[in-house]
Amino acid sequence: MRTPLFRGRRRALATVATAGALALALTACGSSGPSDTSADGGDRGSSTGDIWVITDASLNPVQEKSAETFATSGDVTFTVSNYANDPYKQKLQTAIGSPNQPDIFYNWGGGNLKQYVDAGQVADLTSAVDGDADFKSKLIPSVLDVGTIDGKIYGLPMQGVQPVMMYGNDDVLKKAGVDGMPATWDDLLADVKALKASGVTPIALAGSQSWTELMWLEYLLDRVGGSDKFAAIAAGDDGAWSDPAVIESLTMIQQLVDAGAFGTNYSAVGYDDQGTQALIAGGKAGLELMGSWEVSALNASFPDFAKSDSLVWGTFPTVDGGKGDPSAVVGNPSNFYSVTDGSKVKDGATQYLLDTLTSDEYVDGLLSIGQVPAITGLEEKVKTGDFAHFNAFTYQIVNDSSSFTQSWDQALDAATAQTMLTNLQKVFLGQMEPQEFADAMAK
Amino acid sequence: MARTTVGTGRPGALWAVPALGFFGLFALLPMAIVVYLSFTQWSGIGSPVFTGTDNWTKLAHDTQLMPSLRLTIGLTIVSWLLQTAICLPLGVWLAHHGRGRAVLAAVFFVPLLMSSAAIAILWGGLLDPNFGLASVVGPLIGVPDGNFIGDPDLVFWVVVAVVAWQFVPFHVLLYQGATRQVPGSLYEAARIDGAGRFRQFTAITVPQLKHTIITSSVLMLVGSMTYFEIILILTGGGPGTATRVLPLHMYIEGFQSFDMGYASVLAVLLLVLGTALSLFVTRATGFHRMDSQKEGL
């Protein structure tokens, strides 16, 4: 029965079959579908539009409510679709500019938004915003800057401000003889020593997710060299990565690692699985550097600790002799809404943003879920809810900040950010020296 | 069509049309597109821009390429050796009947029912150095801080172990089924000739399983070479680049750096390597001749 034809065919088939499995593996990186929640009820607008956002169980209802409200007054009925974080970035990347693109999309501002702007896919909102003086005056300038590319406004802040700050477990600090949060770099080094001696991990760090390590470099460079240093890096200036301030900041990181500040197994600790939260809340670590979302995240996983007096917080320590302004903050100034240039309802979408983002309903909605909007004049209003004290602190440091540097992995283009995060992880592992890091990034 | 069936004693080419159509659409077409994309610059936004061989010259300057390739080859060889060493004896043992074995067989197959993502998340929890099983087991086996997936030297072996945990059940199933196909008369004859159990295993079971061993090996080798989902979720290629195997390097370049052009170069490289490997294995073992193991029976 074994004819030559049969044999040849079988072999060819086996070859293409394995090759096919390969190709399938390559194309299997699809995205999950959206979960649609349409804004129904009320008088429907005459046309429809899509808003794409990130899945957030507490924020999504606020966004949907605002779309419903707009549908009763405006011309457009918007449908809010939410996607998980990582699939969203991929889906948006391929949808923008295609017939399936949304009308309004959630983004991170900075370099993330710039790539869409450079591709000519984002509507310029400058004249609309300038035409509404009342709206514009309500936005915090340092936050609006992040949605501004080459002097034109493309993104409007739609979420709470998220500065990075230091958190501590006061019980653990007290037990180690540490009084309050460290105010200076030298205080921090002394605290690390004392905490280590008391048998805990001085600083909880989720080293398997290197964006948590990046926060240290972001703040240190700002304190050591000032916010201009990163501005130069973001602008792509020659030699910006090799600046002495970058080297010094990385050397200070090495100093912390060598002092045992993060323990020995930090590179196996994750943030997404609450690895560091469990360390802080469980009294196994003294300090942590994290975004302002940490308090609501702690409240979700460890409510007893989050609501107790043991949870303390403070600004990042100052560095003696550093050129940076101690009031400067880093983190996520906000997330942003942008309108796609090819949208069929561009005017309606722009109107929705102007009507919604500073409205009482939307602002109160954000406050009710523990977010502090990037809106001026909220000093009294932010003092609500379980974390009134913390919200007021967050609002104050952002309002008082001389600059608000966006998280570097959002501000830089994706390829540079990816290389930087990998190399920084190597610095934390002791596999790469500061100068090697600078050389690798300068390429 | 009926005529060809009658004429040759086997189905006509028309029967293969649905499968070939699927294969063309979901395998050949994407492959052709990947080759095309490897000559373009594309971030996913807008249209790909043709850049000639730029991406291919970049290959020579990619400092991560050789480490990733070495890791991939290492993972492929170690996985193949380890999994075969476990699956062959285990499958043969499970092929024999007995209540205890049936229960164990059911337990062994549990990982087969789980998705890769679930397995990676499960192991991620177990390997948490402060609160997972790693913090308990680590001190007992010389890793006092439970730092398995955060140690650049240890993490490779952890990945090998987790991948084996996922795929051993499938290959055991292959061997179990194949062993049951071996005619009992062969063993009877061997017993009469005075062969012991070990001799029966080496002289009858293993030669009779030749095609299964080759099938299983091709699946393991090509599978390990293109494997990345557990690594992506468990370590993300880290710490540093300690587990950034070639397919993961491709994924990171494509979907994190959004450099689809260069990622396509890596994809083509993987495609060629995988095809060459499976061709080599089927050639070297004489699998393509499709000889029967039961001739003369």
Q: Does the pLDDT of residue A267 top 60, yes or no? A: yes
In this structure, is residue B115 part of a structural domain?
Answer: yes
Contact A20/B146, CB-based, under 8 Å?
no
Interface test with B, best of A13, A18, A272 (most B CBs within 10 A): A18
In this structure, is residue B284 part of a structural domain?
Answer: yes
Binned at pLDDT 50, 70 and 90, residue A28 comes out as very low
Range of the domain at B195: 67-289
pLDDT, tens only, B46-71:
788 999 899 999 999 999 999 999 99
Give the domain CATH number at B123.
1.10.3720.10
Cα distance from B110 to chain A (closest Cα, Å)? 23
Cα distance from A87 to chain B (closest Cα, Å)? 10
Q: Which residues of A touch B255 (CB under 8 A)?
A: 29, 90
Contact B30/A97, CB-based, under 8 Å?
no
Contact B44/A93, CB-based, under 8 Å?
yes
Q: What local confidence, expressed as pLDDT, does residue A274 receive?
A: 87
Q: Does the pLDDT of residue B26 top 50, yes or no? A: yes
Binned at pLDDT 50, 70 and 90, residue B9 comes out as low
State pTM to two decimals. Answer: 0.83
Kindly provide the ipTM of the predicted complex, given to two decimals: 0.85
CB A36 within 8 A of CB A79: yes
For each of the domains in chain A, give its residue range(s) and CATH number, in order of start: 35-160+334-402 (3.40.190.10), 162-331+413-442 (3.40.190.10)
In this structure, is residue B26 part of a structural domain?
Answer: no
Q: What's the whole-number mean pLDDT along residues A39-62? A: 75
Q: What is chain A's mean pLDDT, rounded? A: 87
B146 touching A (Cβ < 8 Å): yes
Binned at pLDDT 50, 70 and 90, residue A154 comes out as very high
Where is pLDDT greater, at B43 or A219?
A: A219
B149 touching A (Cβ < 8 Å): yes
CB B105 within 8 A of CB B91: no
Q: In this predicted structure, which of A298-307, A419-428, B100-109 has the lowest mean pLDDT?
A: B100-109
Please name which of A309, A275, A283, A287 lies closest in space to residue A387, comparing C-alpha atoms.
A309
Binned at pLDDT 50, 70 and 90, residue B226 comes out as confident
Q: How far apart are CA A437 and CA A234, in angstroms?
A: 16
Q: Which residues of B touch A271 (CB under 8 A)?
A: none
Interface test with B, best of A10, A22, A413 (most B CBs within 10 A): A22
In this structure, is residue B36 part of a structural domain?
Answer: no
Q: What local confidence, expressed as pLDDT, does residue A377 receive?
A: 87
Q: What is the residue whose two structure tokens read 């967050």?
A: A394
Q: Which long-range contacts (CB under 8 A, 24 or more apart) does A254-260 make?
A: A254/A427, A254/A430, A254/A434, A255/A189, A256/A189, A256/A192, A256/A203, A256/A216, A257/A428, A257/A430, A259/A189, A259/A192, A259/A193, A259/A196, A260/A192, A260/A196, A260/A202
In this structure, is residue B127 part of a structural domain?
Answer: yes
Q: What local confidence, expressed as pLDDT, does residue B252 receive?
A: 93
Contact A29/B255, CB-based, under 8 Å?
yes
Contact B44/A90, CB-based, under 8 Å?
yes
In this structure, is residue B279 part of a structural domain?
Answer: yes
Contact B150/A207, CB-based, under 8 Å?
yes
Q: Which residues of A touch B279 (CB under 8 A)?
A: 15
Q: Does the pLDDT of residue B234 top 80, yes or no? A: yes
In this structure, is residue B4 part of a structural domain?
Answer: no
Q: What local confidence, expressed as pLDDT, does residue A86 receive?
A: 73
Q: What's the whole-number mean pLDDT along residues B163-176? A: 93
Cβ atoms < 10 Å from Cβ of B103 = 10
Provide the β-strand partners of residue A331: A163, A406
Cα distance from A413 to chain B (closest Cα, Å)? 8
Q: What's the whole-number mean pLDDT along residues A193-206? A: 96
Q: What local confidence, expressed as pLDDT, does residue A440 receive?
A: 94
In this structure, is residue B15 part of a structural domain?
Answer: no
Domains of chain B: total: 1
Q: What is the residue-wise DSSP string for A234-261?
A: HTT-TTSTT-HHHHHHHHHHHHHHHTTT
Q: How far apart are CA B237 and CA B71, in angstroms?
A: 11
Percent of chain A with pLDDT over 70: 90
Q: What local confidence, expressed as pLDDT, does residue B8 receive?
A: 56
pLDDT, tens only, A310-369:
999 999 999 999 999 999 999 999 899 999 999 999 999 999 999 999 999 999 888 888
Work out whether strand A152-153 and strand A148-149 pair parallel, antiparallel, or are unpaired: antiparallel
Binned at pLDDT 50, 70 and 90, residue A166 comes out as very high
Q: Does the pLDDT of residue B277 top 50, yes or no? A: yes
Q: What local confidence, expressed as pLDDT, does residue A39 receive?
A: 42
Instruction: Tell me the Cα Rg of chain B.
Output: 23
Q: What's the whole-number mean pLDDT along residues B291-297? A: 68
**Total beta-carbon pairs less than 8 A apart between chain A and chain B:** 162
Q: What's the whole-number mean pLDDT along residues B138-150? A: 90
Q: How far apart are CA A289 and CA A284, in angstroms?
A: 15
Contact B258/A414, CB-based, under 8 Å?
yes
| Candidate from A11, A267, A418 with C-beta closest to B239 | A267
Percent of chain B with pLDDT over 70: 95
